[in-house]
Chains A and B, each alone.
Chain A
Amino acid sequence: MTVRKCIRILDPGPLATVQDRGRWGFRSWGVPLSGAMDPLALRFANLLAGNGEAAAGLEIAVGGFRAEFLCAAVFCLAGAVREALIDGSPVEFWRACSAKEGSILSVDFRGPGLRIYLAVSGGIDLPPVMGSRSTYLRGGFGGLSGRALRALDLLPLGNQEGRPVDRPVPEEIVPDYSPEPVLRAIPGPQDERLSRRGRTAFFTEQYEVSSRTDRMGMALSGAPLELTGGADIISDGTCPGAVQVHGNGQPTILGADCQTTGGYVKFATVISSDLPLVAQLAPGDRVRFEETDLWSAREIYMKNEYLIRRFFR
C-alpha cells in the first residue's frame, strides 16, 4: 500500500471547502460555476506554491482553521489576512512557505475580510466532477464528497507541477480589500428597470452587508431602490457579480454558487477586477457602487492581468 501525500484537517473552522477556479462549461445544464469566491487569491496562492492555475485548494471562511501536513510540502495562504502559524512560527500571507512532515498549520479567526485561501504544492488531488474539483454544496457534489470539510478529513495531494515562486507579491497587484469598498459596476443587463432616481440612488447610497451572506450571494440592506415595472423578468442567465434588485428594492450581489438562471431584475454587474473585494465582504461591512463602463473596466482588467503575468513569468 502506498502512503499518499496528504494533509489532514484538524479543525475546518465554520466553513472550509475544496475549490478550484470553477466548473466551466456546464451552466447550460443548470450547474453553477462554483469555484473560489475570490478567484485572484486562489490563483496567486497556487502560482506562488508552484501549482498550475487549475489546481484545487481550500477556501476557508472566517478562519479558526488547523491542519496537519502528513508530508513535506510548500504551501501559500492568500486572501483575508490572519495571524497564522506553522509549528509556532508566523506565516506570511501572499508568500510561499515550507512545511515538514508532521507540521501543524493554524489560522486565527480574527481579522478583516472573510475568506482565506490555502494552496498546497501538488494541489488537492480529489476526483474531478464535470471537469472541476470545486464543491457545490447545494448540489452535494464536487470537492470532498460535495460537502464542507470536517475534522480528520484527509485530503490527498497531487504531484508538484512547477517550482514555487519565492518572491513577495508586489502590492500593486494585491486587491485593495476593505470593509467599506467601492465596487465598480457596469449598468446592465436590465439597467432600464430602475427609475432615474433609483439609478442615482444605486450609485450614491451606502449599503450594509446583511447576515444573509453565503456562497450563493449576499443580500444588502439600505434605502429601497425605485423600480419601474416590478422586479420580475423572464428568467435569463446570471453570473457572479450581477446585482439583483428584488421587489422590496433591496440589492443582492450574486456569488459563485448562484443559480444559473434568475427571474429578478439585474440592474448592474460588478466588474471582474472587483470580485475579490466582493468575496471578502462580511456581514456588517458597507459597500458603495461606482458606475463605470466596459472600456474603463477592460483597461483595469488588462493592466492587472499584464502585471500578474509579468510577475509570474
Chain B
Amino acid sequence: MYSKPKVLLCGDTGVTIEFGDRIDPETNRLVRRLFRVLQSANHPGISDLNPTYRSLFIQYDPWVCSFERLLQIVDRALSPGGPPEPQTASIKDIPVRYGGEFGPDLEEVADYHKIEVGELIRLHCAPVYQVYMIGFTPGFAYLGGLDKKLHTPRKKEPRKKVFAGSVGIADQQTGIYPIESPGGWQIIGRTPLRLFDPGREAPFLLQAGDSVRFRPVSEEETWQYLWESLQ
C-alpha cells in the first residue's frame, strides 16, 4: 500500500488512481471505498469508473470536468473527513453443486492436496470472500480469501468449453465463470445462479466489494433453482 495514492494518466480522458502494488484486502478496500463514493456522488463529467485489484480507473470528459477539477473531486473523496462510504451489502449466498458432472476436477484437486473431497468442500465454503474486481469477461468476479490449503495450479491444458456458472480455482484465486467460455481453471462445482443476464433488469448478481459465501447444495436443490429461474 502506498503512503499516498498515485495518479497515473491514461491519455487525456482517463486517469488511474493507484493505491498499492500488490493484491491484498486493505489495498482493495481503499479502491472500493473511492469507487463507491464517486459512484454515488455521480459527478457530471465522470463517465465511467472501474475498480480493480489495487487501482480505480476513471474515464472523464474534459469538456465538462477538467483534469484539475477531477483531482480535486478525488482528493475530497479520499480525505478522512470526506463523504462516507455507502453501506456494504449483505453477504451474497452462492449455492454450489460440487463434483460429479458439475465439478469434473474436484477429485483431482482433492488428490493434489492429499485431502478428502468433503474437506475440500468445507475449506472452500468456510471463508467469506471479497469480490476484488469484475473483469476478463462481463460478470467474472475475482474473489479474494481462498484458503492457502486450496491454492492449486491451473490445468495444464485449458478446456475448450467451461459451462456458465462453473466454480473454479486457479493458483490463489477462486471464481465463477458467468458465461460459457474456454478456460484453464480447475472446475470443482457449478452454481445454478445466473451471474450475468443481459436481459435482466439487474444484469449482474455481483459487483466489486460484495461479500460472497459458497454453500453446497444437493442435486435436487440445484435442479429446483434451475427450474425456478425458468419461471
Interface, chain A (partner B; CB < 8 A): 24-31, 33, 129-130, 138-139, 141-142, 185-190, 234-239, 241-242, 259-261, 266, 269-273, 294, 297-298, 301-302, 305
Partner of B67, one of A33, A138, A269, A298: A298
Pick from B14, B16, B47 the residue with the most CB of A within 10 Å. B14
The residue from B16, B134, B138, B140 contacting A189, defined by CB atoms under 8 A apart = B16
Q: How many A-B residue pairs have CB under 8 A?
A: 131
Closest A residue to B178 using CB positions: A30
Q: How far is the CA of A185 from the CA of B57 in the complex (A)?
A: 18
Secondary structure of the B side of the interface? Answer: loop
For this complex, 28 residue pairs linking A to B, each with C-beta atoms less than 8 Å apart, are A26-B138, A27-B50, A28-B208, A29-B203, A30-B136, A129-B198, A129-B199, A130-B198, A130-B203, A139-B138, A186-B11, A189-B10, A234-B52, A234-B53, A235-B53, A235-B133, A236-B16, A236-B54, A238-B57, A239-B59, A241-B11, A242-B10, A259-B136, A272-B11, A294-B9, A294-B67, A298-B62, A305-B63
Q: Hey, which chain B residues are within 8 Å of A142, CB to CB? A: 198
Chain A at the B interface: SS class:
mixed
Q: Which residues of B contact A294 (CB under 8 A)?
A: 9, 12, 67
**In the complex, chain B residues whose CB is within 8 Å of the CB of A30:** 134-140
Q: Which residues of A contact B10 (CB under 8 A)?
A: 188-189, 237, 239, 242, 266, 269
Query: Which chain B positions have C-beta within 8 A of A31?
Result: 138
Residues A25 and B198 in contact, CB atoms below 8 Å apart: no
Q: Is B110 an interface residue (CB 8 A)?
A: no
Interface residues of B (CB under 8 A from A): 8-14, 16, 18, 21-23, 35, 47-57, 59, 62-63, 66-67, 133-140, 179, 196, 198-199, 203-204, 207-208
Instruction: Compute how far the CA of A42 lies from the CA of B124 in the bound complex, rounded to whole angstroms.
Output: 49
What separation, in Å, do the CA atoms of A25 and B179 have in the docked complex? 20
Give the 5 A-B residue pairs with the shortest CB-CB distance, closest first. Answer: A237-B57, A261-B135, A269-B11, A189-B8, A297-B12
